[in-house]
Amino acid sequence: MGETPHRSADAGTGGTQVTQSHEWPAGASAHVAEAPVSTRSPGSGGLGGGGALPRSRKFGAERAFRGLTLAAGTTVLVIIAAIAIFLVAKAVPALRANTENFWSYEGWSPNDTEPKFGIGALAFGTVLSSALALLVAVPVALGIALYLSHYAPRRLGTALGFLIDLLAAVPSVVFGLWGRDVFSGPVRDFSIWLNQHFSWIPLFGGDGPFGASVMLGALVLAIMVLPIITSLSREVFLQTPTANEEAALALGATRWEMLRTAVLPYGRPGIIAAVMLGLGRALGETIALALTLGITFGISFNLIQNGGNTIAANIANAFGEANETGRGALIASGLVLFTITLIVNITARAIIYRRREFTESAA
């Protein structure tokens, strides 16, 4: 048997210590453990790892794609800025030659010896017709989208969705001709009925004539923006997580309660985006309104009398006969329409962003 080491009591620690002859040199174990590490080469593939990461390529696919997307985004901003600069440069001479207040004057005579024109009536007609179109189109579009996504059989929903998408491909001039030659008759009869029974409401007052009115233009616009809002809303509703819908139904909710509590809240940002996209289409519509409105200059809330005008329709009707000052005046009105559209899109993005932040914080 081996010789046991001699131990001596240590009064200071109350324990035992190995005598000096049997102790390891100080730090010997550390040197033994660290020796392999110090001799391991940086590029070795040992079991413990520690090899250097491969260097990234200086001009790799990731860097190229990042530069491409940055260039694309910058190009869009440059184009928008270039359009704004062009509009301002062409509009300034006409605005200087104008003898009336551009914002409050309701007439449009930029080709006269003393040019007189204003944007007030045109901007009012643009906003009014677009707002009425959305007021009619949004409820119908959301109802159709909910039916196609959650009520209709799959084959029927697919077929109806395809037909609705086809409406978006119809040229606006076709809608305008149909509205002027076919749809104006029923709208005129309906306007007469409204005037006979509700003439005490300023919206439906007046002595006529009726037909080529803001109501006709707004209804045609509503039909034009309907497929856009319907298609986008349907796709948003189909993206609702199935677990959310099944959880609502498992708690005893009816089909409508499930849609109201699970589908509509989830799709609200998408609905807002669809509505704003439809509003942008309505604000910029030209030929359809040029063929259906009565083309008058004035601010009036009457919806059934002949009249109404918009910025885009006025540009289409007056550009062919405009002189240099007249073209500058039309470009100035286009600058106002450009600003209105930009404000609408920025507002929509802000609403969607705030809604997304709220949803993420609630989650």
Q: Which of 202, 223, 219 has its CA nearest to residue 211?
A: 219
What does the pLDDT read at residue 357? 55
Residue 68 CA from chain centroid, whole number: 23
Residues 6+ apart with CB under 8 A from 30: none
Name residue, tokens 């001009």. 59
DSSP strands (E only) in the chain? 7-10, 15-18, 108-109, 116-117
Whether residue 110 has a cis bond before it, omega within 30° of 0: no
Name residue, tokens 């240590």. 10
d(CA 115, CA 325): 8
Reported pTM? 0.75
Structure tokens at 122: 């045109």
Tell whether the model's pLDDT for residue 116 goes beyond 60.
yes
What does the pLDDT read at residue 54? 59
d(CA 139, CA 33): 76
Mean pLDDT on 19-38: 45
Residues 6+ apart with CB under 8 A from 323: 110, 111
Tell whether the model's pLDDT for residue 297 goes beyond 60.
yes
Name residue, tokens 């020796």. 35
Residue 23 CA from chain centroid, whole number: 78
Q: What percent of the chain has pLDDT over 90?
A: 32
Tell whether the model's pLDDT for residue 34 goes beyond 60.
no
Tell whether the model's pLDDT for residue 30 goes beyond 50.
no
| Length reported for the chain | 363
**Per residue in 254-287, pLDDT tens?**
888 999 888 988 888 888 888 988 998 899 888 9
Mean pLDDT on 88-99: 91
CA distances from 126 to 28, 81, 93, 299, 337 (A): 89, 24, 24, 11, 9
Task: List, as one string, the DSSP characters of 265-295.
Answer: HHTHHHHHHHHHHHHHHHHH--HHHHHHS--
**Per residue in 71-92, pLDDT tens?**
999 999 999 999 999 999 999 9
C-alpha count within 13 angstroms, C-beta hemisphere, residue 330: 17
What does the pLDDT read at residue 146? 92
Q: How far apart are the first and last CA of the chain?
A: 72
**Per residue in 189-201, pLDDT tens?**
999 999 888 888 8
